[in-house]
Amino acid sequence: MYEAKISPNVLSLTDSALTLIVVFLVTLPAMFWSGINVDTAKAAAGAGADVSETLIVNVSRRSLYVNGKPTAFFRLKKVLYDELGGRKPGEVVIAPDGDVTLNRLVTVFDAVRRAGAEKLVLLDDMEGDGS
């Protein structure tokens, strides 16, 4: 005779959905924030860059060179301050070797950024042969 009507509780569903939307809107900028902006380049000097103002950092698993001079990893911060001190904040080219670890490369990125470089260029092919 009488049929039982089932109605869902929409209010709690709406509260949950709105709470999730607010959480995502608050955390969205943190997801896409990057502390280091890196330009990938095929050439060490880049297009139109003045080579005398460009600092080149070669990174491999066992060695580290700043403008062709061997540098100890623990002295990198001081060497970069000395090299970038007399220049206007400019471009730093980071040339990683094929066997360098990501942790070491990110540490070099951080040291270069803290030394005052405004533009980081990541060299992805040393020979420039495109392979």
Task: Please give the Cα distance from 92 to 51 (Å, whole number).
Answer: 10
Task: Please give the Cα distance from 107 to 103 (Å, whole number).
Answer: 6
Domain borders along the chain are 38-123
Q: What pLDDT, on the 0 to 100 scale, is given for residue 18?
A: 95
Strands 91-96 and 119-123 turn out to be parallel
Strands 69-70 and 38-41 turn out to be unpaired
pLDDT over threshold 80, residue 86: no
Q: What is the pTM of this model?
A: 0.55
| Topology (CATH level 3) of domain 38-123 | Nucleotidyltransferase; domain 5 (3.30.420)
pLDDT in tens, 27-44: 888 777 655 555 555 444
Q: Average the pLDDT over each of 23-32, 72-81, 91-100, 121-130 and give the range with the smallest value.
A: 121-130
Does residue 119 contact residue 41 with C-beta atoms inside 8 Å?
no
